[in-house]
Structure 1
Amino acid sequence: MEVQFVNDFEIANIYKQFSPPIFRYMTYLVQHRQVAEDLTQEVFIRFVNLGDVHRTPAEIQGWLRKTARNIAFDYLRRKRLIKFTPFLVIHEKADEHPFFGMEEVRELYDALGKLKPSYREVIIWRKIEELSIKETAEILNWNEEKVKNTLKRAMQALRLKMGGAEDE
C-alpha cells in the first residue's frame, strides 16, 4: 500500500475544518488559552508527520480527537495537573479566554474546572462538542453504557458545582 502525502492546500483545509473543535476541547480541558493553542498545533503537526491523510473526513476527525486527548493528558501528567485543580484568576486573565464574555459561560467554565477528569471530558464531548454517544465512546475507549452513566453523574455534579439542586 503506497502512502500519499498531503500538499499545503489539503493541510490548510483540514486545519481550517478541524482545528476549532480541537482547540475548544483543549481549552476546556487545560483551561489555559496559550497552552491550548500549543497543544492544538501539536495535534496537527503529528497529523502532517503521519503523511497518510487520504482518509474520509470522519476518519480524520476521529484520529485528531483521539490524538488531542492523548496529547492533553500527556501534558497534564507532565505538569502534574491531572487532578485538574481549577485555575484561579491570577493564573489566567478572564478576558483572554475565547469563551468568556457572558457570566453564565464563566460560571460553567469554573464549574467544569472543579469536576473530576472523566466528568469534565464526557461533558466536553457530549454537551459542548455535541458528539453522539457512539462517537464519544470511541474517543474515550468506553462502551456506550459507560458514556451514558458517566454523563448523567457528570451533569449532576456540574449542577451542584453551579449551585443547582441534585433533585434529578
Structure 2
Amino acid sequence: MKPIHLATLAVATSTACSAFATQYLTVEQAQQVMFPDATAFKDANLQLSVEQMRQVEKLAGEPARSASWRVFAAYKGEAQLGYVVLDDVVGKFELISYAVALNPDASIKQIEILAYRESHGFEIKSPAWRKQFVGKTASSGLSIGDGISSISGATLSCTHVTDGVRRIAAIAQVMLKK
C-alpha cells in the first residue's frame, strides 16, 4: 500500500470516529434556556472541603469525584434565581457534557445536554427523559428505576448522567441550599 493511501485512511478513520459528536448548546445558551428571566450570571465556583466531599458521597451514594465544581449563580437584578452547575460524565466511551439548573432550595429546575459524543444513546437529549429530573432533590428518586426511567439503547448514558445529576443535587444540598 502506498503511503498516501495510509494517510488518507488515517484521516478517514479519525473523521469517522468523531462524526457522532454533537454540540447542542454552549454554556451561555444553556444558561439562557434554563433561566430565561436572568439578567446576569456570576461565577460561583465551588471548592469542597474533605468533610463536604464526605457529606456529598453519603447523600449521593457516589464518590464526590472532585473538590472543584464550575458553578454560575443566576440573577434577575439583585434577586438570585438559582444556580447552573456544569459537569461531564463518561457515556460508554466518550464524555457527555451537561448542565443542571438548581432552584435556591437545591431542587432540580432543569437539565440540558450540552454535547454528546457517543454513536448511540443520544435519546437522553429528549425533553421527556430530561423532564423526569425536575423538582427532585438529592434524597428524592434520583436513580434509574427509582424516579428515573432508562432508555433502551442508551442505558449507560442514562445511568451515568443520572448518577452525575444525583451527585450535583447532593452538592447543592451541602453547599448551595438556601
TM-score bin (small chain): under 0.3
- Please identify which structure carries the higher helix content: 1
* Bigger CA radius of gyration: 2
TM-score relative to the length of structure 2: 0.26
- Please identify which structure carries the higher strand content: 2
TM-score relative to the length of structure 1: 0.27
